[in-house]
Amino acid sequence: MIAVSIVNSHRKITGALVAGAVASGLFVSAGLGSAPTANATCASIFGIGGGAACTSTLFSASFAIGEGATAHATGPLSLGFAIGDGAQADAGGALSLALVDGNATSKATTSAGSVLNLAWVIGGDSTAETSPGSIFNLATSLFGDNNHATAGGSIGNFATNIGGSGNNVTTQGGLFNTATNILGSGNILKTQDGYVNWARNIFGSDNAITVNGGVANWARTVFGDDNTFLLTAGNVNTARNIFGSNNTFTLNLGYGNFARNLFGSDNFLTTATGYSDLATNFLGSGNHVTSIGGSYNGARNIVGSGNMLSAGGPGSNLNLAFNFLGGTNTVAAGPGPLAFAGSIFRNGPLTPPITQTGPGIAINSDPIGGAAATSGQSSTVRRANAVPLNRTGDRAAAVKPAGTTTATNKKTRPATDHPTGITTASNKKPGPATDHPTGTTTGSKKTRANDHRRHR
């Protein structure tokens, strides 16, 4: 009995040791599996907790989720929130939000000294940043990758990118300026200085848009690639491209000038100075359309390629140069005013070009009025040189033998010299008397009757 109990005791002890070892192993493995990696998640609220990866100040908070993610809220009443391995959120402004969901090179920043700013990033390798000292600036880069949005300037500037890749969207200086890219890749959009200026791309790639100064100058392209826009100073100028690629827009100074391309590529559209000048292209490629100076000058290309159109000039007004359904034409109108020059259903090149410099109209090679420098004679000149036809059926007078009497019921013209003995009479009042050779009698029936009364 004693031996049996001893054996049983050894078995119990051995089983207890094995069970303890297994249990210890399970606890250790469970602990290793559930323990978070260092710096994987942190939080700091009102300046409490978080360590080096998450910091905050009074009435601010920061949160970071992901290995190596960091979040800082150093501005009063601000929030920094980072999601993703290595993602960085830095809310340095007051009443500001810095939000990022990305990777190790994704970062959202509201700079120190700013107020009511938002920096928001969703996407890898992307950034959003607002400038120091700015008020109510928004920088957002949502979706896509390798995109960068920077909202600089003092008040109310918005830099926005949605989708695509490799886009740079910037507002720099000024008030209420916006730069916006929606889809597309490789676009560079920038507004600099001025007020209420816009640069915008929608569904296009590799476009470059710069609006530099001025007030309410807008540049926009939709469904087009490789277009270039440069708007410099001036006010309320607009450049627009729809369904066209590799077009160049240049608008310099002026007020209310407008340049547009619709369904065309490789075109150059230019306005400079002036007031409400117009340069447009519709359905054509390789055209140069220019409207410069003065007021209400217009250059329009409507269906055709390879045309060079120019209207206006310094101090010129109300001039129009156009092409309609033609190609390779050169048309110039101005300085005018009221100079109109155009090509219709005509393919050039015409030599010399179609040009109207003063008031008047020149269509193809046929100018109508005004000073023009085109091939062909003016129809006005041709009409002036034409010999009028006599509608009464008069013909050249024929020579009659001596003694022939000619009468008519029409008013007689001033009498002319006749050979001796020729008598000419009329039933109408005679015209002014003229000298006649001796023996020539000229009179009327009424005159002869009065002579009879005097003889009585």
pLDDT at 39: 52
Q: Which pLDDT belongs to residue 369?
A: 55
- Residue 144 corresponds to which amino acid? G
**Structural domain range at position 122:** 77-232
The residue that leads in pLDDT, 404 or 186, is 186
Tell me whether residue 1 is in a domain. no
Q: Which long-range contacts (CB under 8 A, 24 or more apart) does 72-76 make?
A: 73/44, 73/98, 74/112, 75/110, 75/112, 75/114
Residue tagged 């033609």 (tokens): 326
For residue 57, is it within any domain? Answer: no
Integer Cα distance of 83 and 68 in angstroms: 10
How many structural domains comprise the chain? 1
Residue at 228 is within a domain: yes
The answer on pLDDT for 228 being more than 90 is yes
Helices (H) and strands (E) in the chain, counts: 3, 37
Which DSSP symbol is given to 420?
T
Whether 5 has a pLDDT exceeding 80, the answer reads no
Q: Quick check: is 69 in a domain? A: no
**Tokens read off for 375:** 């091939």
* Three-state secondary-structure class, residue 434: coil
Predicted pLDDT at 375? 39
Per-residue pLDDT, 367: 65
Query: What is the reported pLDDT for 350?
Result: 77
Residues 6+ away with beta carbon under 8 Å from 445: 425, 427
* Residue 329 in domain: no
Per residue in 20-31, pLDDT tens?
A: 333 333 223 333
Residue 15, H or E segment = helix 2-34
The per-residue pLDDT of the chain, averaged, comes to 80
Task: Give residues with Cβ within 8 angstroms of 109, minimum separation 6.
Answer: 89, 90, 92, 98, 119, 127, 128, 129, 130
Q: State mean pLDDT over 349-378.
A: 73
Residue 199, in any domain of the structure: yes
Mean pLDDT of 337-365: 92
Contact yes or no for 277/312 (Cβ under 8 A): yes
Is residue 451 one of the residues assigned to a domain? no
d(C-alpha 84, C-alpha 65), whole Å: 6
Q: Residue 400 pLDDT more than 90?
A: no
Which of 210-214, 242-246, 445-449 has the lowest average pLDDT? 445-449
Residue 445 pLDDT: 40
Separation CA 18–CA 163 (nearest Å)? 60
112, 111, 114, 149: which is closest to 128 by C-alpha? 149
What is the pLDDT averaged over residues 342-346?
96
Position 114 scores a pLDDT of: 96
pLDDT of residue 311: 98
Say how far apart CA 26 and CA 48 lie, in whole Å: 35
- Asked if the structure places residue 143 within a domain, the reply is yes
